[in-house]
C-alpha cells in the first residue's frame, strides 16, 4: 500500500521530483549499532505504522540515542520489505529505540508513541492499510509491560478518543533491521518523505487529536523524505537483533 501511495506522489510531483538524487544502497552497509553497545542505553520497541515516520518522530526526543527501522512479530526469518509489506509474512513494521533512561524515561517514550499514532485503528495506520501497519507496543521486561498497560488504561480513561484503544501490548520478539535504504529515510530523501507524510493524513490526525503542540512543526518535517520505487525493490540482507 505504501509503495503505491509513493508512486501516486511521484506521479503528481512530476518534474519536481525528476531532479532528486537518491543514493544506491551499499549491500555491505548495516545500520549504525555502536551506540547499542553502551551499557547505559535501554531498548524499547514500538509499531506505529510507517516506520519512516516513527523513526523520524522518536529521533526528535531528547535522550533517544538511536532509532532503527525494522520488522518483528512474525516467524519468517530475515524478512524483506516486499515480504512484510505484502501482509503475508506475519511481521509488522516497527522501530527499535535505544535510549538513555537517565535523560528520558520509558513512560515518556510511551507518551511520544501515543501522540504520533491513531491507537483506535485496527486495520493499519493512515494511508498504510493491513495488519503489517497496525500499532503495537513490544515490551522487553515486566516493568515495561506494566507501564505500557497502565498508560493505555489512562489514555482510554481520558476520553480523548471516542473509539476503543486497540493497540496491542505484547512481548518483544526477534527484531530484524530493515534494508539500509529505509534507515533515516526522512533524512536521505527529505522531499519525498515530506510529501508522503503530509499526504498520508498522519499529522492532520495528530493535530486534531492533540492540538498543534502534539504534531511536528513544518520545520521539523521539511527536511525529510523516502526512497523511490526502484530502490524499494532492491533488497539488502537484514541484520538480526535478538531481544529478550
DSSP string, 44-100: EEEEES-HHHHHHHHHTSTTEEEEEEEEESSS-SS--HHHHHTT-SS-EEEEEEEE-
Task: Report the catalytic residues.
Answer: 50
Q: Convert the pLDDT of each residue in 106-164 to its tens digit.
A: 999 999 999 999 999 999 999 999 999 999 999 999 999 999 999 999 999 999 999 99
- The CATH number of the domain holding residue 97 is 3.30.1060.10
Q: Which of 24, 21, 17 is nearest to 234 (CA)?
A: 24
The pLDDT score that the predictor gives to residue 3 is 54
pLDDT bracket for residue 2 (50, 70, 90): low
Specify the pLDDT at position 213: 64
Is 23 a member of any domain? no
Residue 212: per-residue pLDDT: 77
- What is the bridge-based pairing of β-strands 135-139 and 168-171? parallel
The more confident residue out of 35 and 207 is 207
In a domain, 27, yes or no: no
Question: Looking at residue 214, what is its pLDDT?
Answer: 59
pTM for the model stands at 0.75
| pLDDT computed for residue 229 by the predictor | 42
Region of 130 on the Ramachandran plot (φ > 0 left; ψ -120 to 50 alpha; else beta) = left
Q: Is residue 237 part of a domain?
A: no
Is residue 244 situated within a structural domain?
A: no
Half-sphere exposure of 62 (CA within 13 A, CB side): 2
Task: Point out the least confidently predicted range of 8-17, 33-42, 45-54.
Answer: 8-17
Q: Is residue 143 domain-resident? A: yes
Give the mean model confidence (pLDDT) for residues 197-212: 92
Determine contact, residues 50/2, Cβ cutoff 8 Å.
Answer: yes
Number of domains composing the chain = 1
As a whole number, mean pLDDT of residues 56-74 equals: 97
What is the domain range of residue 73? 2-10+39-231
State the average pLDDT over residues 75-79.
Answer: 94
What pLDDT score does 211 carry? 87
Q: Is 118 inside a domain boundary?
A: yes
Amino acid at each position: 500500500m505504501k509503495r503505491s501511495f509513493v508512486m501516486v506522489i511521484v506521479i503528481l510531483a512530476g518534474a519536481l521530483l525528476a531532479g532528486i538524487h537518491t543514493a544506491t544502497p551499499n549491500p555491505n552497509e548495516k545500520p549504525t549499532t555502536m551506540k547499542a553497545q553502551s551499557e547505559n542505553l535501554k531498548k524499547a520497541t514500538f509499531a506505529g505504522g510507517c516506520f519512516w515516520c516513527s523513526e523520524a518522530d522518536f529521533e526528535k526526543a531528547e535522550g533517544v540515542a538511536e532509532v532503527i527501522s525494522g520488522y518483528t512479530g512474525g516467524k519468517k526469518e530475515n524478512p524483506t520489505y516486499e515480504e512484510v509489506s505484502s501482509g503475508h509474512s506475519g511481521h509488522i513494521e516497527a522501530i527499535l529505540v535505544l535510549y538513555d533512561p537517565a535523560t528520558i524515561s520509558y513512560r515518556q517514550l510511551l507518551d511520544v508513541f501515543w501522540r504520533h499514532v491513531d491507537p483506535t485503528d485496527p486495520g493499519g495506520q493512515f494511508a498504510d492499510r493491513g495488519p503489517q501497519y497496525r500499532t503495537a507496543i513490544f515490551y522487553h521486561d515486566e516493568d515495561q509491560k506494566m507501564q505500557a498497560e497502565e498508560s493505555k488504561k489512562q489514555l482510554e480513561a481520558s476520553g480523548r478518543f471516542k473509539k476503543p484503544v486497540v493497540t496491542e501490548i505484547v512481548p518483544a520478539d526477534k527484531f530484524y533491521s530493515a534494508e539500509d535504504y529505509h534507515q533515516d529515510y526522512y533524512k536521505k530523501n527529505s522531499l519525498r518523505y515530506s510529501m508522503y507524510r503530509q499526504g498520508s493524513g498522519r499529522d492532520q490526525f495528530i493535530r486534531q487529536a492533540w492540538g498543534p503542540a502534539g504534531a511536528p512543526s513544518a520545520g521539523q518535517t521539511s527536511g525529510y523524505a523516502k526512497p523511490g520505487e526502484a530502490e524499494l525493490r532492491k533488497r539488502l540482507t537484514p541484520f538480526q537483533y535478538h531481544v529478550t
